Amino acid sequence: MRPPPFWNPDGPRTSGAVTRALLSPLGWAYAAAGAWRIARTAPAPAPAPVICVGNLTLGGTGKTPVTLAVMDAARALGLTPAALTRGWGGRLAGPVQVDPALHGAREAGDEPLLLARTGLTVLDRKRVEGARLAADLGADLIVMDDGHQNPRLEKSLSLVVVDGETGWGPGQIFPAGPLREPVSAGLARADAVIVMGPDEDYQPDLARLGLDALERPVLRAWLAPEAAPPEGPLVAFAGIGRPQKFYDALVRWGGQLVETASFPDHHAFSRGDLNRLSDLAAAHDASLITTEKDWVRLPGDVRSAIAAWPVRARFAEPARLTALVEQAVDAWRARR
Protein backbone atom coordinates (compact mmCIF):
# COMPACT_ATOMS: atom_id res chain seq x y z
CA MET A 1 0.00 0.00 0.00
CA ARG A 2 1.03 3.62 -0.52
CA PRO A 3 1.33 5.52 2.79
CA PRO A 4 -1.44 8.13 3.05
CA PRO A 5 -0.34 11.76 3.51
CA PHE A 6 -1.74 11.97 7.05
CA TRP A 7 0.80 9.36 8.21
CA ASN A 8 3.48 11.98 7.64
CA PRO A 9 3.89 14.00 10.85
CA ASP A 10 5.56 16.78 8.83
CA GLY A 11 2.66 17.06 6.39
CA PRO A 12 -0.46 19.26 6.62
CA ARG A 13 -0.80 19.44 10.38
CA THR A 14 -4.45 20.37 10.84
CA SER A 15 -6.07 17.96 8.39
CA GLY A 16 -3.61 15.18 9.25
CA ALA A 17 -4.16 15.54 12.98
CA VAL A 18 -7.93 15.47 12.54
CA THR A 19 -7.82 12.37 10.35
CA ARG A 20 -5.54 10.57 12.78
CA ALA A 21 -7.82 11.49 15.69
CA LEU A 22 -10.87 10.15 13.87
CA LEU A 23 -9.11 6.89 13.04
CA SER A 24 -7.37 6.38 16.39
CA PRO A 25 -10.21 4.27 17.94
CA LEU A 26 -9.74 1.78 15.09
CA GLY A 27 -6.02 1.79 15.87
CA TRP A 28 -6.69 0.97 19.52
CA ALA A 29 -8.89 -1.94 18.45
CA TYR A 30 -6.22 -3.15 16.00
CA ALA A 31 -3.55 -3.00 18.72
CA ALA A 32 -5.78 -4.75 21.26
CA ALA A 33 -6.53 -7.59 18.84
CA GLY A 34 -2.82 -8.07 18.14
CA ALA A 35 -1.90 -8.00 21.82
CA TRP A 36 -4.63 -10.54 22.61
CA ARG A 37 -3.41 -12.87 19.87
CA ILE A 38 0.21 -12.68 21.06
CA ALA A 39 -0.74 -13.20 24.71
CA ARG A 40 -3.02 -16.17 24.01
CA THR A 41 -0.78 -18.05 21.56
CA ALA A 42 1.75 -20.58 22.82
CA PRO A 43 4.66 -20.60 20.32
CA ALA A 44 5.37 -23.98 18.76
CA PRO A 45 8.87 -25.37 19.45
CA ALA A 46 11.20 -24.73 16.54
CA PRO A 47 13.32 -27.51 14.96
CA ALA A 48 16.26 -25.08 14.71
CA PRO A 49 17.15 -21.65 16.06
CA VAL A 50 14.83 -18.98 14.60
CA ILE A 51 16.04 -15.44 14.05
CA CYS A 52 13.14 -13.12 13.30
CA VAL A 53 13.77 -9.94 11.31
CA GLY A 54 10.70 -7.77 11.79
CA ASN A 55 9.53 -4.22 12.30
CA LEU A 56 6.86 -2.25 14.09
CA THR A 57 5.53 -0.33 11.10
CA LEU A 58 3.86 -1.02 7.77
CA GLY A 59 5.95 -0.29 4.72
CA GLY A 60 9.57 -0.70 3.81
CA THR A 61 12.30 -0.48 6.44
CA GLY A 62 14.85 -2.83 4.87
CA LYS A 63 13.80 -6.13 6.45
CA THR A 64 14.63 -8.29 3.45
CA PRO A 65 18.19 -6.93 2.96
CA VAL A 66 18.75 -7.40 6.71
CA THR A 67 17.47 -10.97 6.39
CA LEU A 68 20.07 -11.58 3.68
CA ALA A 69 22.76 -10.05 5.91
CA VAL A 70 21.78 -12.35 8.79
CA MET A 71 21.99 -15.34 6.46
CA ASP A 72 25.47 -14.23 5.36
CA ALA A 73 26.51 -13.93 9.02
CA ALA A 74 25.18 -17.44 9.65
CA ARG A 75 27.18 -18.86 6.73
CA ALA A 76 30.30 -17.19 8.09
CA LEU A 77 29.73 -19.19 11.27
CA GLY A 78 29.58 -22.42 9.29
CA LEU A 79 25.78 -22.70 9.50
CA THR A 80 23.26 -23.60 6.80
CA PRO A 81 20.51 -20.98 6.99
CA ALA A 82 17.10 -20.97 5.38
CA ALA A 83 14.83 -17.98 4.89
CA LEU A 84 11.26 -18.44 6.08
CA THR A 85 8.68 -16.10 4.57
CA ARG A 86 4.90 -15.81 4.44
CA GLY A 87 4.93 -14.90 0.75
CA TRP A 88 2.92 -11.70 0.93
CA GLY A 89 1.18 -11.00 -2.38
CA GLY A 90 1.47 -14.56 -3.73
CA ARG A 91 -1.11 -17.30 -4.12
CA LEU A 92 0.81 -20.10 -2.42
CA ALA A 93 0.02 -20.86 1.21
CA GLY A 94 2.82 -23.39 1.67
CA PRO A 95 4.75 -24.96 3.10
CA VAL A 96 6.81 -25.09 -0.07
CA GLN A 97 10.41 -24.52 -1.07
CA VAL A 98 10.57 -21.49 -3.34
CA ASP A 99 12.23 -22.10 -6.69
CA PRO A 100 12.63 -19.09 -9.03
CA ALA A 101 12.69 -21.52 -11.97
CA LEU A 102 9.23 -22.83 -11.04
CA HIS A 103 7.53 -19.98 -9.21
CA GLY A 104 6.73 -16.45 -10.28
CA ALA A 105 5.72 -13.42 -8.25
CA ARG A 106 2.03 -14.25 -8.64
CA GLU A 107 2.61 -17.60 -6.95
CA ALA A 108 5.24 -16.80 -4.35
CA GLY A 109 5.40 -13.00 -4.02
CA ASP A 110 8.42 -10.81 -4.70
CA GLU A 111 10.37 -11.09 -1.43
CA PRO A 112 10.49 -14.94 -1.46
CA LEU A 113 11.80 -14.87 -5.02
CA LEU A 114 14.46 -12.35 -4.05
CA LEU A 115 15.51 -14.47 -1.07
CA ALA A 116 15.48 -17.69 -3.10
CA ARG A 117 18.00 -16.25 -5.55
CA THR A 118 20.61 -16.32 -2.75
CA GLY A 119 19.77 -19.43 -0.72
CA LEU A 120 17.27 -21.95 0.59
CA THR A 121 13.88 -20.28 1.04
CA VAL A 122 10.64 -21.76 2.36
CA LEU A 123 7.23 -20.13 2.08
CA ASP A 124 4.57 -20.82 4.69
CA ARG A 125 1.86 -18.39 5.76
CA LYS A 126 1.56 -19.96 9.20
CA ARG A 127 5.35 -20.46 9.58
CA VAL A 128 5.35 -23.58 11.82
CA GLU A 129 5.23 -26.26 9.11
CA GLY A 130 7.55 -24.13 7.01
CA ALA A 131 10.17 -24.19 9.75
CA ARG A 132 9.93 -27.98 9.89
CA LEU A 133 10.29 -28.23 6.11
CA ALA A 134 13.36 -25.97 6.22
CA ALA A 135 14.96 -28.24 8.83
CA ASP A 136 14.08 -31.32 6.77
CA LEU A 137 15.83 -29.69 3.81
CA GLY A 138 19.02 -29.34 5.84
CA ALA A 139 18.78 -25.91 7.48
CA ASP A 140 20.28 -25.60 10.96
CA LEU A 141 19.22 -21.95 11.29
CA ILE A 142 15.95 -20.34 10.21
CA VAL A 143 15.76 -16.63 9.41
CA MET A 144 12.18 -15.38 9.44
CA ASP A 145 11.63 -12.43 7.10
CA ASP A 146 8.92 -10.45 8.91
CA GLY A 147 6.96 -12.02 11.76
CA HIS A 148 7.62 -9.91 14.85
CA GLN A 149 3.85 -9.84 15.38
CA ASN A 150 3.47 -13.55 14.54
CA PRO A 151 3.48 -15.57 17.80
CA ARG A 152 3.06 -19.07 16.32
CA LEU A 153 6.73 -20.07 16.19
CA GLU A 154 9.32 -19.98 18.98
CA LYS A 155 12.01 -17.38 18.29
CA SER A 156 15.62 -17.46 19.47
CA LEU A 157 16.43 -13.88 18.48
CA SER A 158 14.07 -11.04 17.53
CA LEU A 159 15.54 -8.16 15.55
CA VAL A 160 13.43 -5.04 14.97
CA VAL A 161 14.35 -2.89 11.97
CA VAL A 162 13.43 0.80 11.94
CA ASP A 163 14.02 3.51 9.36
CA GLY A 164 16.13 6.12 11.11
CA GLU A 165 14.63 8.99 9.11
CA THR A 166 10.91 8.22 9.25
CA GLY A 167 11.02 6.41 12.60
CA TRP A 168 7.60 5.50 13.93
CA GLY A 169 5.75 8.13 11.86
CA PRO A 170 3.18 10.07 13.92
CA GLY A 171 3.35 7.35 16.58
CA GLN A 172 -0.15 6.00 16.01
CA ILE A 173 -1.50 2.54 15.25
CA PHE A 174 -2.88 1.51 11.86
CA PRO A 175 -5.02 2.90 10.27
CA ALA A 176 -4.34 6.20 12.07
CA GLY A 177 -0.62 5.70 11.51
CA PRO A 178 1.86 3.12 10.22
CA LEU A 179 2.45 1.30 13.53
CA ARG A 180 1.47 -2.36 13.75
CA GLU A 181 1.51 -2.16 17.54
CA PRO A 182 2.59 0.30 20.26
CA VAL A 183 6.34 0.95 20.13
CA SER A 184 6.78 0.07 23.81
CA ALA A 185 5.09 -3.32 23.34
CA GLY A 186 7.07 -4.16 20.21
CA LEU A 187 10.42 -3.17 21.69
CA ALA A 188 9.69 -5.19 24.84
CA ARG A 189 9.75 -8.37 22.71
CA ALA A 190 12.86 -7.33 20.75
CA ASP A 191 16.38 -8.58 21.53
CA ALA A 192 18.07 -5.90 19.41
CA VAL A 193 17.15 -2.97 17.15
CA ILE A 194 18.66 -2.19 13.77
CA VAL A 195 18.41 1.47 12.70
CA MET A 196 18.61 1.85 8.92
CA GLY A 197 20.06 5.08 7.57
CA PRO A 198 20.57 6.42 4.04
CA ASP A 199 24.34 5.91 4.10
CA GLU A 200 27.28 5.02 6.33
CA ASP A 201 27.75 8.60 7.53
CA TYR A 202 24.21 8.93 8.89
CA GLN A 203 23.99 9.19 12.67
CA PRO A 204 20.43 8.44 13.85
CA ASP A 205 18.74 10.52 16.54
CA LEU A 206 18.26 7.74 19.07
CA ALA A 207 16.48 10.04 21.51
CA ARG A 208 13.85 10.91 18.87
CA LEU A 209 13.34 7.21 18.23
CA GLY A 210 13.11 6.45 21.94
CA LEU A 211 16.16 4.19 21.75
CA ASP A 212 18.71 6.24 23.67
CA ALA A 213 17.96 4.48 26.97
CA LEU A 214 17.01 1.09 25.50
CA GLU A 215 18.67 -1.73 27.42
CA ARG A 216 19.21 -3.77 24.27
CA PRO A 217 21.80 -3.60 21.51
CA VAL A 218 21.15 -0.93 18.87
CA LEU A 219 22.96 -1.55 15.59
CA ARG A 220 23.41 0.97 12.79
CA ALA A 221 23.07 -0.13 9.16
CA TRP A 222 22.36 1.23 5.69
CA LEU A 223 21.64 -0.03 2.17
CA ALA A 224 24.57 0.10 -0.23
CA PRO A 225 24.49 -0.82 -3.92
CA GLU A 226 26.49 -3.71 -5.30
CA ALA A 227 27.55 -1.48 -8.21
CA ALA A 228 27.22 2.12 -9.35
CA PRO A 229 24.06 3.04 -11.30
CA PRO A 230 24.25 2.66 -15.09
CA GLU A 231 25.62 5.63 -16.98
CA GLY A 232 23.36 7.98 -18.89
CA PRO A 233 19.87 9.39 -18.25
CA LEU A 234 17.65 7.15 -16.09
CA VAL A 235 13.92 6.85 -15.53
CA ALA A 236 13.47 5.09 -12.21
CA PHE A 237 10.29 3.35 -11.09
CA ALA A 238 9.45 1.42 -7.94
CA GLY A 239 6.56 -0.26 -6.17
CA ILE A 240 8.01 -0.55 -2.68
CA GLY A 241 7.16 0.87 0.73
CA ARG A 242 9.14 4.08 0.23
CA PRO A 243 10.07 4.62 -3.45
CA GLN A 244 11.73 7.95 -2.65
CA LYS A 245 14.47 6.09 -0.76
CA PHE A 246 15.36 4.31 -3.98
CA TYR A 247 15.40 7.51 -6.03
CA ASP A 248 17.49 9.36 -3.44
CA ALA A 249 19.98 6.50 -3.33
CA LEU A 250 20.36 6.49 -7.11
CA VAL A 251 21.22 10.19 -7.08
CA ARG A 252 23.50 9.82 -4.05
CA TRP A 253 25.51 7.13 -5.83
CA GLY A 254 25.88 9.13 -9.06
CA GLY A 255 22.81 8.20 -11.11
CA GLN A 256 21.54 10.74 -13.67
CA LEU A 257 17.88 10.63 -12.71
CA VAL A 258 15.58 12.49 -15.11
CA GLU A 259 12.14 11.13 -14.13
CA THR A 260 10.47 8.80 -11.63
CA ALA A 261 7.26 6.77 -11.44
CA SER A 262 5.96 5.37 -8.14
CA PHE A 263 3.53 2.51 -7.61
CA PRO A 264 1.96 0.90 -4.52
CA ASP A 265 4.01 -1.61 -2.55
CA HIS A 266 4.13 -5.08 -4.20
CA HIS A 267 2.46 -3.64 -7.32
CA ALA A 268 1.74 -6.14 -10.10
CA PHE A 269 2.95 -4.35 -13.22
CA SER A 270 0.53 -4.54 -16.14
CA ARG A 271 1.36 -4.31 -19.82
CA GLY A 272 -0.16 -0.84 -19.76
CA ASP A 273 2.18 0.19 -16.93
CA LEU A 274 5.18 -1.09 -18.84
CA ASN A 275 4.13 0.58 -22.07
CA ARG A 276 3.76 3.92 -20.28
CA LEU A 277 7.14 3.50 -18.62
CA SER A 278 8.71 2.68 -21.96
CA ASP A 279 7.16 5.77 -23.53
CA LEU A 280 8.39 7.89 -20.60
CA ALA A 281 11.92 6.60 -21.02
CA ALA A 282 11.81 7.19 -24.79
CA ALA A 283 10.64 10.77 -24.24
CA HIS A 284 13.75 11.43 -22.16
CA ASP A 285 16.07 9.27 -24.30
CA ALA A 286 16.73 7.41 -21.05
CA SER A 287 17.03 3.87 -19.73
CA LEU A 288 14.61 2.28 -17.28
CA ILE A 289 15.86 1.18 -13.87
CA THR A 290 14.09 -0.33 -10.88
CA THR A 291 14.74 -2.12 -7.60
CA GLU A 292 15.70 -5.78 -7.51
CA LYS A 293 12.47 -6.46 -5.63
CA ASP A 294 10.41 -4.84 -8.40
CA TRP A 295 12.44 -6.49 -11.13
CA VAL A 296 11.46 -10.01 -10.04
CA ARG A 297 7.78 -9.02 -10.46
CA LEU A 298 8.27 -8.01 -14.11
CA PRO A 299 7.23 -10.35 -16.94
CA GLY A 300 10.23 -12.34 -18.11
CA ASP A 301 10.13 -11.00 -21.65
CA VAL A 302 10.76 -7.39 -20.56
CA ARG A 303 13.41 -7.92 -17.90
CA SER A 304 16.32 -7.72 -20.32
CA ALA A 305 15.30 -4.17 -21.26
CA ILE A 306 15.10 -2.92 -17.65
CA ALA A 307 18.04 -2.63 -15.27
CA ALA A 308 17.78 -3.89 -11.71
CA TRP A 309 19.82 -2.05 -9.09
CA PRO A 310 20.51 -4.48 -6.23
CA VAL A 311 21.39 -3.17 -2.79
CA ARG A 312 22.59 -4.96 0.33
CA ALA A 313 22.49 -4.11 4.01
CA ARG A 314 25.82 -3.00 5.43
CA PHE A 315 26.51 -2.69 9.16
CA ALA A 316 28.70 -0.17 10.96
CA GLU A 317 29.81 -3.01 13.26
CA PRO A 318 29.17 -6.30 11.43
CA ALA A 319 30.86 -8.28 14.19
CA ARG A 320 28.04 -7.32 16.56
CA LEU A 321 25.46 -8.86 14.22
CA THR A 322 27.52 -12.03 13.91
CA ALA A 323 27.87 -12.21 17.70
CA LEU A 324 24.10 -11.90 18.17
CA VAL A 325 23.53 -14.77 15.74
CA GLU A 326 26.17 -16.94 17.41
CA GLN A 327 24.81 -16.27 20.90
CA ALA A 328 21.26 -17.14 19.80
CA VAL A 329 22.42 -20.43 18.26
CA ASP A 330 24.51 -21.34 21.32
CA ALA A 331 21.60 -20.57 23.67
CA TRP A 332 19.19 -22.69 21.59
CA ARG A 333 21.60 -25.62 21.54
CA ALA A 334 22.17 -25.34 25.30
CA ARG A 335 18.45 -25.73 25.92
CA ARG A 336 18.27 -28.94 23.89
Burial 21-56 (b: 16+ CB within 10 A, else e): eebeeebeebbeebeeebeeeeebebbbbbbbbbbb
Tell me the CA end-to-end span of the chain in Å, nearest whole number. 42
Find out whether 109 and 96 touch, Cβ atoms under 8 Å.
Answer: no
Question: What are the angstrom distances between the C-alpha of 200 and each of 44, 156, 216, 328?
Answer: 38, 29, 22, 27
> CA 177, CA 161: separation in Å to the nearest integer?
17
HSE-CB at 58 with a 13 A cutoff on CA atoms is 20
Instruction: Give the chain's length.
Output: 336
Interior CA angle at 194 toward 188 and 197, to 5°? 135
- 63 labeled part of a ligand binding site: yes
- 64 labeled part of a ligand binding site: yes
> CA 155, CA 251: separation in Å to the nearest integer?
39
Identify the CA nearest to 283 among candidates 266, 258, 264. Answer: 258
* Rg, C-alpha atoms of the chain: 20
> CA 287, CA 303: separation in Å to the nearest integer?
12
Find out whether 281 and 94 touch, Cβ atoms under 8 Å.
Answer: no
- 164 labeled part of a ligand binding site: no
Amino acid at 321: L
- 62 labeled part of a ligand binding site: yes
- 177 labeled part of a ligand binding site: no
Q: Binding site: residue ranges?
A: 57-64
Q: Binding site for ATP: residue ranges?
A: 57-64
